[in-house]
Structures are given as structure tokens and as C-alpha cells.
Structure 1
Amino acid sequence: MLANQTVVKTGSKKYAQWALSLWLSISIYCFIQSILRHRLNNYLIFENTFFNLIGEKSLYNAYPTIHDDANHYGPIFGLFIAPVAMLPRWLGFMLWNIFNCVLLFWSIKSIKLPNKNLVYFIALPCLASSMLSQQFNPATAAFIIFTYTLRDKHNGFWSAFLIALGTMIKLYGIVGLAFFFFIKDKKSFITYLIMWFLILFFLPMLVSSPTYIVQSYKEWSMSLAIKNATNIGSLTNDISIMGFVRNLVARPISNTPFLIVGCLMFALSYLNFSKYKDDRFQLLILASVLIFPVLFSSGSEDCTYIVAIAGVGIWYLLSDKGVWRTILLAAVILVSFDFPLMVFPDYTTQHPFAIKMISLPYFLVWLKILAATFKLRSAPEVQLAADQQKTVLL
């Protein structure tokens, strides 16, 4: 028996090493492609936030001579990107991609879930899309996952840090509060959370000034409001379940009714009070948390789904074997390749509904996750362990 477990662990480690090599290869390949095709726009936006921060220039103005579009991340991001922004551009860009790639890989590795190597391969199409776009989204997903896996580490010290950092960079990090009910030392966690929000608010002032940072937060709020308004009706943004419905009914419906319904649906899982200590229940909540902000954000792009697909992978490993499980996973992977825009760019431009459909399989998976949290009512208590190598049935 011990020999079999050793073989399984050795095989699992080799798969993980092979998966990491594949992820790094994709990251380097996308870096080379971006350099050859001069597609560095997102990285140039990120890099410029650091120089604007230390120069006390507006973080949210357009700088058409440097890059297209504008920055939409919080002031702390200027410091976050500083280590690579100060390097030669080609080196900083390469390390930025590698950092995002490795951080997400490491976070998935930290999840106590059997057969989790499969998640690395499920995520491949979204990883490639994100790497080609030089996105921060892999780090966003990693922050959310680490918020869960580190929730009781040093009484929630690092989990609170990641919630504060993720929120003050891109707002998505706020969903990490969904794990509050699973934290053992809640008082310490709240203390750390307040402490980190204050530290991260004041930290950029060390390289700028208090007046500038306060004004930057005001500008950030305005830029997000403007960005949300322009996202609705956009071809490459609002690839969410909200955008799907808006295109389906051909009406510019406000985000508010979607968010109210979505939050209520998300909260229903928490009515299953008796399962709060069940590892499977907590992992299903993690999967739900990863998918929710992408489905209900007008800023979601195809490359944003690297956040959601990690949740799909967790759901898949926790689900019963069955035809619908396979069909849904296949649908998620298929739409993640973004075939409509690649194969039929003209048609997709004229019919945005084709690309908005990316959100539909993810939404169906999210509904399955919500339903699964209630199935646990009659399920026997079976705790997952990091070294278990068996399928967990709901």
C-alpha cells in the first residue's frame, strides 16, 4: 500500500513538473510573439503607471504617444509593477509574463485537491490568451486562490494582505471576503484586513505625495465608471453573462439588476450552515468565487477567463462522472479557444453575440456549482487531504 502511494506521489510530481514546463514554454512563446509583432500595449500601460506615479502625473489620462487605451488599476499598482518597470523593457516584459504564469501555477498547487494536475491542462487555452495580452489576470486568480489556501496561515495575516492588495489593484480581490466564514481567528483577520488596507493606501505616498494619491483615487473611481459605460456594447469587453443577455435582448440593461440577482444566487450557498467545515463545500465556494466576478463584470474580456477556468477545473474534479460533466467541460474548453473571433472575425464583429457566448458554458458550470453546495446536505462527511489520490463524489 505504501509503495503504491509512493508511486502515485512520484507520478503526480512528474506531471506537475511537466505541466510547469509547458506553462513556462507558453509564457516564453507568447513573449516572443508579442515582441516580434510589437504587441506590447498592455505591458506599456502597466509600465507607464510606475513612471507616472513617481512623476506625479495622472495615472488615468490617455498617453497616445506611449500606448493605446488607459490605465484602470489602482495607485498601488504603480509600486507593484515597479520591479519589472525599472528593467530594460524586453526583460521586464518577459519576467512579467513569467511572474504571472508561475504565481498562478503555484497557487493551484497549494489547493488541497486530489488530481489537481488536471487543472493545469484545462487552463491552457485561457493561459495562452492571457499571456498574449500581457494580462494581470493570472495574478488576480492566484490572489483569490491564495486568499483561500492561506486563510488560517498566521491567523489570516497573508490572506488579509492578498484581499487588500487584490482589491486596491483591480477590485476583483474583494471576492476573497467570501472565505471569511471559513477563517478560524476572525478577530485577528479583521484587524489585519484593516491594517493592510491602510498600509496599501498610504504606501504609494512614499514615492509621490498624499495630495496626489488622494486625487488619484478620485480619478480611479471616475475612470472605472467611464470604463463600465463604454464596455456595454463593446465587442471585446463585456464578455460576461450580462453582456450575453444584453446582446440576446438587444437592450443596454444596467449592471444593477444582474448584480443583485447574481449576489443573491451566490449567497444561497451559505444557507448550508452545517457544511461550513466540510472541505468539499469550501472548495466549491472557491470555484464559485473564481467564476462569479468574471461572469458579472462588464470589463470581462476573453483573456479574463483565466480567472474563471481555474474554478471550472476545481468543479470538474469534485463532480460525479457523467455525460453532462464531460459536455460542460468540453464546451468551456472549446469557447476558451475563442474560435469565433479567430475563424470568423468579420462575422463576429458584425454579430457580437457570437463572442458573448463564451460566458454561457461558464455560467452553466457556475449553476452546477451552486446546486452542488446543496447536494452536500445529505452527503457523508469526507474530508479531503492533500495526499489523497482518489475521486471525490458529490
Structure 2
Amino acid sequence: MTAINRFLLNQKAILFLFLAIAIFAALQSYFAGLKTFEEDGRLYTCYNNYVIFKQSFFHLIEGKDLYILYVEEQWDLFKYSPAFALVFGLLAYLPDAVGLSLWAILNAVVLFYSVYYLPKIDNRTKGLILIFIFSELLTTLQNEQSNALIAGLLIFTFGFLERGKYWMASFCIVSTIFIKLFGIVGLALYLLYPGKLKLTFTTAFWAILFTLLPLVVVDAEQFVFLYKSWANMLANDHSISDGLSVIGWLKTWFGWNVNKTYVSLAGVVLFCIPLLKVKEYSRYHFRILMLASILIWVVIFNHRAESPTFIIAISGVALWYFSQFQKRENLVLLILALIFTGLSSTDLFPKFIRNQWIFPYVIKAVPCILIWIKILYDMMAGNIAPRLREDQ
């Protein structure tokens, strides 16, 4: 057995790597000093996103509007649910260095264990998946984002559904929705499994619980106000940018000034086409490709997608490639994703290339778009075969 294989099979070593990178990213942000987010703008901490999450809890218990700017405290708006603001209180009272580190560790650990919870995939392949997504994990952790947590919860949803643990599956999927609404796309996984009545009941239970959770600290009037304010903020946020998405790609590459709603609807239609193959639902590799499709879809059709969001998409890419039989065309697409999605936002690419080409021309998203199209084709053509195990 080679040293590489021994490492890939060593779950503790990979866990240590994930924990180390989480702590490194957190402390790097904490000690990085102050920065501006616009020319001649106010100075804020380099871990501004964490500050937004932390302050949302204090704004909640103080009866303030969560969804307005607090320029004296933070840059940008809080965009998550009132329930998320309440739960973040578990970290909010801690010193920033500690809370920030625990937040990074939570994101890394949830993603790590979600991959190891996948059934019918050997540990060496799981090690390959985790190493492949490592650079994107570092990017999202350096930005204190919740995207690794979202990816992990969606993968856990699949793992729990495969094992018939519907309470835990619905808990995970509802959690993603109350962090970022696009997690709702993960509900499509329910179509692939029996017991839909139980899934409906358990999902409704968790959704009601999460919705009502802020009533622990606010009165009914403030509760209603907060949800109205959240809805208003999200509605106004829709037109702000095109993001590293299909919309941005169509505009920058082809000059198509397309309507975002129409593009999203087209994406929904294309996403749903493989679901017409009901007889394929019984095949594990069809189901895991549906999970991969979801993980990529929620990023490439998100008009607010930015570089740290791509840990979700690259997790889908890894599941797509490493869960099935290796093919030359798939390997080419994987290499493109590794270079132009996984590494393009790192210092391996000179800053002028990133600023003049990678981000303006949405290059980071292109391999994921191509792979998502390939996933649709494979699912429709039934062109799916399991990955050969090392001992076969």
C-alpha cells in the first residue's frame, strides 16, 4: 500500500487536516487587522461575516430590525432567518477568537462527517472526495461563510434518507432552508424515497419549530415584523447582482441580457427532467447523481453566488465523479473544475488574472455548469456505472 493510499484511508489524519485548516482560517481572519470593503470606506474587521452573524443575535434580543444596515458595527446586511440569529447566540457571547474558531470547526466537521456518512462508498473514495474539496473549503472558511455547513447538511440529508432516518433527514434539510433559502431545492430528494407522508409530517414539524423559535426572545408583534422584514429584504436583494452563475455567464460570454426569473425557471425545468425517470429511483447511483445535481444547481443558478459559495458546488462535482466509473471525458471535466473552480480564486493564479479574467468572466462557474449538464445527460441516458473499488 502506497503512502498516498494509507493517508486516504486514514480518517483521523484527514479529520486532523480539516480541523487544522479550520483553526488556521479562523485565526488568520482574527489577526488580519482591519479592512475596507469599498474605496475610502469605513474600516471593519477581516472576519466581518462572523460579526454579522454574531450581532444578529444581539439585535434580535434587543428587539431591533435584523434586516437593515448597521454601518457602525458591520459591512453588509444579515440575510438569514430570525431562527439562525437566535441559534447563533451559542457563539455570540464567546470571545471572537474562540467563537470564530468554533464556527469554522463546525462548518468543517459537519462537511467531513457527512461525506463519511455516505453509504456504498469505500473509505478511500471518501478520502479522495474530501481532499478534492479541500481548497474550496479553505476559501469559504477564510470568509467565515456557512456554505460548508450547508453542503454538509445536504449530504447528511441524503445519508439519512438512504438509511430511512426521516426525522434526521428532515431536520437537516429544514436547517439548510433556515440558513439559506436555496436549501429548499434539496426537498427534491424526497421524491426518490418511500414514506412521503412521514417525510411531509417530519418536515412540517421542524419547519414550524424553526419558524416559531424566535418567540423565545421576542413578542408576537416583533415576530411578525421580523419575518416581513426578512421577506422584503430578500425580494429587494434579487436584482442586486448576477453572481458567479449561469446568468452572469450568459451575460459576460454571450452578451445576453436575460431575465433572471426566466433563467431560473429554465433551470428548474432542466433540473426536473431526470425526475421523470421514476423507474430509476431504485438505483443508488441515480439517487447520488440527483444529490450532486442539487449541490451544483443551488450555486450555478444563484444570482448571489460568489467564490466562497462554491464549496457546495464542488462537493457535488466530487460526488458526481468519485461515485461512478471513471471515464475519460469525466476526468477532463474534473480537472477543469479543479483548476478553474477549485484553484482559480487562490494565490496560484496571479491577482491580475483573477481580477481581469476569472471573476469578470465568471470562469469559476463554467466547469460546474458543464458538469451539471453532463449529470443531466448521464441521468437521462442511464449512462451510470458504479466506481470500481480498489479491491476489485
Aligned length, in residue pairs: 374
| One-letter code aligned to 2:31 | L
Deviation at 1:339, TM superposition (A): 4.4
Q: For residue 247 of structure 1, what is the aligned residue in structure 2?
A: 252
Contact 1:140 1:307 in 2 (8 A): yes
Distance 1:355 1:134, change over 3 A: farther
Using CA pairs below 8 Å that are at least 6 residues apart, which structure has the higher relative contact order?
Answer: 1
Q: TM-score scaled to structure 2, two decimals?
A: 0.88
Q: For residue 51 of structure 1, what is the aligned residue in structure 2?
A: 58
Query: 361, 372, 389: which one pairs with 1:366?
Result: 372
Contact 1:47 1:81 in 2 (8 A): yes
Distance 1:321 1:154, change over 3 A: closer
Contact 1:137 1:306 in 2 (8 A): yes
Q: For residue 100 of structure 2, what is the aligned residue in structure 1?
A: 93
The question of 1:220 aligning with 2:230 is answered yes
Q: For residue 301 of structure 2, what is the aligned residue in structure 1?
A: 296
In 2: Cα distance, 1:78 partner to 1:318 partner: 36
Q: For residue 389 of structure 1, what is the aligned residue in structure 2?
A: 389
3-state SS of paired residue (2:161): coil
Deviation at 1:94, TM superposition (A): 0.6
Moved more, 323-332 or 51-60: 323-332
Query: 51, 71, 77: which one pairs with 2:84?
Result: 77
Moved more, 79-88 or 273-282: 79-88
Q: For residue 206 of structure 2, what is the aligned residue in structure 1?
A: 196
| One-letter code aligned to 2:63 | E
Deviation at 1:25, TM superposition (A): 1.5
Query: 316, 321, 330: which one pairs with 1:316?
Result: 321
Unaligned runs of 5+ in 1: 233-237
In 1: Cα distance, 2:72 partner to 2:365 partner: 34
The question of 1:105 aligning with 2:115 is answered no
Deviation at 1:103, TM superposition (A): 0.6
Deviation at 1:350, TM superposition (A): 5.5
Contact 1:155 1:185 in 2 (8 A): no
Query: 277, 280, 289: which one pairs with 1:284?
Result: 289
Q: For residue 235 of structure 1, what is the aligned residue in structure 2?
A: none
Query: 205, 215, 227: which one pairs with 2:215?
Result: 205
Deviation at 1:301, TM superposition (A): 0.6
3-state SS of paired residue (1:338): coil
Deviation at 1:46, TM superposition (A): 0.5
Moved more, 334-343 or 180-189: 334-343
In 2: Cα distance, 1:389 partner to 1:170 partner: 36
Unaligned runs of 5+ in 2: 34-45
| One-letter code aligned to 1:20 | L
Query: 17, 21, 33: which one pairs with 1:22?
Result: 17
Distance 1:259 1:40, change over 3 A: same
| One-letter code aligned to 1:36 | F
Q: For residue 192 of structure 2, what is the aligned residue in structure 1?
A: 182
Note the 1:317-332 alignment, pairs <5 A: 317-332=322-337
3-state SS of paired residue (1:269): helix
Q: For residue 239 of structure 2, what is the aligned residue in structure 1?
A: 229
3-state SS of paired residue (1:151): helix
Moved more, 112-121 or 318-327: 318-327
Q: For residue 40 of structure 1, what is the aligned residue in structure 2?
A: 47
| One-letter code aligned to 1:389 | R
Deviation at 1:184, TM superposition (A): 2.3
3-state SS of paired residue (1:129): helix
1:131-177 Cα deviation digits (max 9, x unpaired): 10001001111111111111265651111122222112211221221
The CA RMSD over aligned residues, in Å, is 2.6
Deviation at 1:324, TM superposition (A): 2.1
In 1: Cα distance, 2:225 partner to 2:257 partner: 31
1:36-86 Cα deviation digits (max 9, x unpaired): 213110000010111111111111111111111111111111122121112
Contact 1:247 1:352 in 2 (8 A): no
Distance 1:246 1:120, change over 3 A: same
Contact 2:344 2:354 in 1 (8 A): no
Distance 1:179 1:391, change over 3 A: farther
Q: TM-score scaled to structure 1, two decimals?
A: 0.88
Contact 1:56 1:208 in 2 (8 A): yes
